[in-house]
Amino acid sequence: MRMKKRPRRLRNNKMIRSLVRETKLHIEDLVYPLFVVEGENVKKEINSLPGNYHLSVDRLKEEIEEIRNLGIRHILLFGIPNNKNHLGEEAYSKDGIVQKAIRKIKENFDDIYIITDICMCQYTDHGHCGILTSEGRIDNDETLKYLGKIAVSHAEAGAHMVAPSDMMDGRVGYIRESLDKEGYEHIPIMAYSAKYASSFYGPFREAADSAPSFGDRKTYQMDPANGEEAIREVDLDIEEGADVVMVKPALPYLDVIRRIKYNFNIPVAAYNVSGEYSMLVNAVKNGILSEEAIMEALLSIKRAGADIIITYFAKEVAKKLRGDF
C-alpha cells in the first residue's frame, strides 16, 4: 500500500518515541503537600490519604529528608491545630502550628521551598473558610483582615510563598498590601484562583478535619459548571497581584487549565486533589488499573497546560522518574 504519511513511523521504538515526546514530567514541577499536627513524635498515616502522614513538628525533618533525597524541593504546608475557635486565632498566632513548622524546616534545610496554604477552615470551629456574621453568613470583607494577618504571620515565620485558598473576593489584593506593608514585597502569592466547590475534596477534609459543620462552600467556591467565570477570577487575581494562578481540582478541570494557559501569560498551577488521588490509589490497589495510570493522569495535567502540579503522588512520581518505581 502506498502511503506517504504514516504516523506510526514515529512510534517505532522507544528511542524515537522519546525523541518526539511533547510533554515530560519533571521533579521540579511538583509540589508535595504536608500535614503538620500538634504533639510530639507523631507520624501517623492518614486513613483517607494512604502514603501520606500527619506529622508533628519534631518528625518533619525525617520526612523532608526523605522527599529531598527523592529530589522534591517544594512543599505546601497545611496545619491542623489543636484548638479551633470562631475567629480561627491559631491561624495567625506566632506559635501556631504552621509557624512552628516553618521555623523548624528553615532551621534544618536551606533548599526546601516552603509554600503555605492561607485559609481559615482548619482553624475555625464551624469549619468555614472565613469569619461568620451573626446571621451565619461568611463575612467577606471582615475575613480579608484575618487572611492578611495569616499571610504576614507565615511570612514572618519564614514562608517563601503564600497560597490563599479561601476564595473571598479581593483577598489577593488585600494580602499583597498586607505583605508589602510589613516589608514582605518579595514574597510571591500563588492564588487558588479557579477553585471549584468540588466533591473531590472529601479525603482532604477528613485529613485536615476541616469539613464545614453546616451548609457548604458554594457561596464562595466556584460552580463546577462554569469555565468563563474561571477566566474572570484569574483576571481579577492577576490584577490584584497574583504571581501564580491555580486551578483546583485538576483532572475534572483540564479544559479550565488549558483555557487559562492560553489566555494569560503567567505560571499556572494545578492541584491534583485528594479525591483524584484516592480514586487512582484505590483502583491500583484493587487491581482495576495498573500503576501506569498514575503517570498518565499527571502527564495529562501537564499536557493541558499546568506548569506546576501539586500532588500527593509526588513521591511516587519522583521514584518513577529516577527509575526505581
Q: Is 121 in the site for ligand PBG (CB under 6 A)?
A: yes
Cβ-proximal residues to 282 (8 Å cutoff; 6+ apart), any chain: none
d(C-alpha 246, C-alpha 269), whole Å: 4
Nearer Cβ to ligand PBG, position 121 or 247?
121
- To the question of whether residue 121 is assigned a binding role by annotation, the answer is yes
274: annotated binding-site residue? yes
**Contact range with ligand PBG by CB under 6 A, out of 65-73, 83-91, 93-101, 200-208:** 200-208
Whether 248 sits among the annotated catalytic residues: the reply is yes
- 25: amino acid identity, one letter: L
Residue type, 135: E
Largest CA distance in the chain: 77
274 binding ligand PBG? (CB under 6 A): yes
Residue from 35, 184, 196, 204 binding ligand PBG (CB under 6 A): 204
* CB < 8 Å & 24+ apart, contacts of 230-238: 230/193, 230/194, 230/256, 230/259, 230/260, 231/259, 231/260, 231/263, 233/193, 233/194, 234/193, 234/194, 234/260, 234/263, 234/264, 235/264, 236/172, 237/172, 237/191, 237/193, 238/264, 238/266
Q: Which is nearer to ligand PBG, 178 or 210 (CB)?
A: 210
- Is 106 known to be catalytic? no
If the CB atoms of residues 200 and 265 are measured against ligand PBG, the closer one turns out to be: 200
Q: Find out whether 312 is annotated in a ligand binding site.
A: yes
For ligand PBG, the binding residue among 37, 179, 273, 301 (CB under 6 A) is: 273
Stretch that binds ligand PBG, among 203-211, 238-246, 284-292, 295-303 (CB under 6 A): 203-211
Q: How far is the CB of 200 from ligand PBG (least distance, A)?
A: 6
Confirm or reject binding of residue 119 to ligand PBG (CB under 6 A). Answer: yes
Catalytic residue ranges: 195, 248
